[in-house]
């Protein structure tokens, strides 16, 4: 019985620290595989296609969007960045666990594409704390701050689609919690049918 990998999704509102957490969890090397993103930006010296990025033209990328080939994509500095569904599917099929960080808006989509994904919502323990983080980020205008808060409120609406809530009041604790969730999920009985099978045969 070949075992497929687990897709872990980290999401949450801006200011929750999901990017930092994903990075730190990946660093801990707990057997997670990096999914290579696709991008329309030009390769930098030394960057290898398929290793650092899948380099695409704008036309190719747009076509992939139309064909629903991305789990999620964003536009940044006039370039697109996206997570190709096929890439993640093939890693999972090889039995590799993948950890992705996505925006909350993509959460509903992920559930449809990967019903077995383990979805983790990262947030500070109170909205007041998120406000503090968003409002004291720098020298933004009142208007930009209010927009940030309005978006954050919307992002919390998707909370109900998640399996876990990882409180990020202390970064190290939150990183450890996400690692715990990954280890626990791997130990679920329904993910270890090879072991169950072994003991059924005794």
Using the rule CB under 8 A, is 185 a contact of its own copies?
yes
Q: What are φ and ψ of residue 163, in 5° steps?
A: -85, -35
Residue of 127, 151, 169, 171 interacting with its own copies (CB under 8 A): 127
DSSP tag of 48: -
Element (H, E) at 55: strand 54-55
Count the Cβ atoms, other than its own, within 10 Å of residue 199.
7
Using the rule CB under 8 A, is 1 a contact of its own copies?
no
Confirm if 99 and 22 have CB atoms less than 8 A apart: yes
SS3 175: helix
SS3 117: coil
How is residue 55 written in tokens? 């380099």
Confirm if 134 and 179 have CB atoms less than 8 A apart: no
How is residue 163 written in tokens? 């399996």
Nearer to its own copies, 62 or 173 (CB): 173
Q: From the CB of 192, what's the least distance to its own copies, in Å?
A: 5
Using the rule CB under 8 A, is 116 a contact of its own copies?
no
Nearer to its own copies, 73 or 162 (CB): 162
Residue of 123, 129, 142, 143 interacting with its own copies (CB under 8 A): 123
Residue of 68, 90, 146, 180 interacting with its own copies (CB under 8 A): 180
Using the rule CB under 8 A, is 44 a contact of its own copies?
no
List the x/- string, 143-162, binding to its own copies by CB under 8 A. ----------x--x--xx-x
DSSP tag of 169: S
Residues that bind its own copies (CB under 8 A): 121, 123, 125-127, 153, 156, 159-160, 162-167, 176-177, 179-181, 183-185, 187-189, 192, 195-196, 198-200, 202
């Amino acid at each position: 019985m070949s075992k497929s990998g687990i897709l872990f999704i980290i999401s949450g509102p801006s200011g929750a620290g999901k990017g930092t957490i994903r990075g730190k969890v990946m660093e801990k090397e707990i057997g997670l595989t990096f999914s290579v993103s696709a991008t329309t930006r030009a390769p930098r010296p030394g960057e290898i296609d398929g290793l650092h990025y899948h380099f695409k033209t704008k036309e190719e990328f747009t076509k992939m969007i139309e064909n629903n080939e991305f789990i999620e994509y964003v536009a940044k500095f006039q370039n697109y960045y996206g997570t190709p569904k096929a890439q993640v599917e093939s890693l999972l099929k090889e039995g590799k666990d993948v950890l992705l960080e996505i925006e909350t808006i993509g959460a509903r989509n992920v559930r449809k594409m990967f019903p077995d994904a383990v979805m983790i919502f990262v947030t500070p323990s109170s909205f007041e704390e998120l406000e503090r983080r968003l409002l004291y980020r720098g020298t933004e205008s009142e208007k930009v701050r209010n927009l940030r808060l309005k978006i954050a409120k919307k992002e919390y609406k998707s909370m109900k689609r998640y399996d876990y809530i990882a409180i990020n009041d202390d970064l190290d604790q939150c990183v450890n919690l996400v690692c715990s969730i990954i280890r626990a999920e791997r130990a679920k009985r329904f993910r270890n049918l090879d072991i169950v099978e072994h003991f059924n045969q005794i």
